[in-house]
Amino acid sequence: MKIYVSETPQALGRSAARRIASALRETLMTQEAARLVLSTGASQFTTLAALVREELDWERVEMFHLDEYVGLSPSHPASFRRYLQERFVSKLSLKRVCWVDGEGDVESKRALLCAAIAEAPVDVGVIGVGENAHIAFNDPPADFDACDPYIIVTLNDTCKAQQVREGWFPDADAVPPRAVSMSVRQVLRCKTIICPVPYRAKAQAVQKMLTAEVSPAVPASILREHATVHLYLDRDSASLCAL
């Protein structure tokens, strides 16, 4: 794992976006198309804002995302489909967009999504880390053994509290209890993983990610076992680490 510490969230976003774009360009030198996974949430604002400004043949890029709440309409302010549509998809011409859809017949849609992502390896995964050290919506204790690319998970109270603090929901009762999430195993299948993790609220999670025993109790710790991970921190998120 390579770790980079920026002075501000904005500088972090620019650095992470450059790395993402560089990895995609390298992929497109040897492949007809590149596959990209994006995460969401407040911690990804600066990275996505910088990424859409990168010069790249976006028409050769396929995008997947990590997760979506079960039963939440894309018109809801907290919908991750809405988040990515407004901040990324609407600003570019992509080859393909594969949404995580948690409405209606969730099992059938999940099966189709699993089949779509299994068509070819994911080249670049942009993976955030939650305040409880989750990756995607794999809250602790995470299932490290689930084989399907996407699974249905139950959100824990810490995760719900983060969604409320970030302003996505008015209170914990309003947060949907379940989500369709990329599994830990599928995250680890990404050839390159880039983790933008700014803000002081993530400092404890970052510390545990880097120092705790690799276990389902600290889901992000499993990223230390991946061959190619670039972790982008700012001074606040790195404040509890000896870096």
pLDDT recorded at residue 233 = 98
Asked if the model's pLDDT at residue 170 lies above 80, the reply is: yes
End-to-end distance of the chain based on CA atoms, in angstroms?
A: 13
User: What are the structural domains, with CATH classification, of the chain?
Assistant: 2-129+221-234 (3.40.50.1360)
Rounded Cα distance, 192 and 23, in Å: 8
Q: What is the pTM of this model?
A: 0.96
What is the tens place of the pLDDT at every residue in 54-103? 999 999 999 999 999 999 999 999 999 999 999 999 999 999 999 999 99
Q: Token pair for residue 70?
A: 């079960």
CB neighbours of 58 closer than 8 A, spacing ≥ 6? 92, 93, 94, 95
d(Cα 10, Cα 14) in Å, to the nearest integer? Answer: 6
Torsion sign across C-alpha atoms 12, 192, 150, 220: negative
- Over range 133-152, report the average pLDDT: 97
More confident residue, 243 or 162: 162
Q: What is the pLDDT, as a whole number, of residue 234?
A: 98
pLDDT of 232 reads: 98
pLDDT attached to residue 132: 96
- Asked if pLDDT for residue 242 goes beyond 90, the answer is no
Taking the C-alpha atoms of residue 18 and residue 210, their distance in angstroms, rounded to an integer, is: 23
Average pLDDT over residues 165-184: 96
Average pLDDT over residues 209-233: 98
In whole angstroms, give the CA distance from residue 133 to residue 218. Answer: 6
Q: Read off the pLDDT of residues 29-50 as tens digits, 9 standing for 90 and up.
A: 999 999 999 999 999 999 999 9
Average pLDDT over residues 216-223: 98
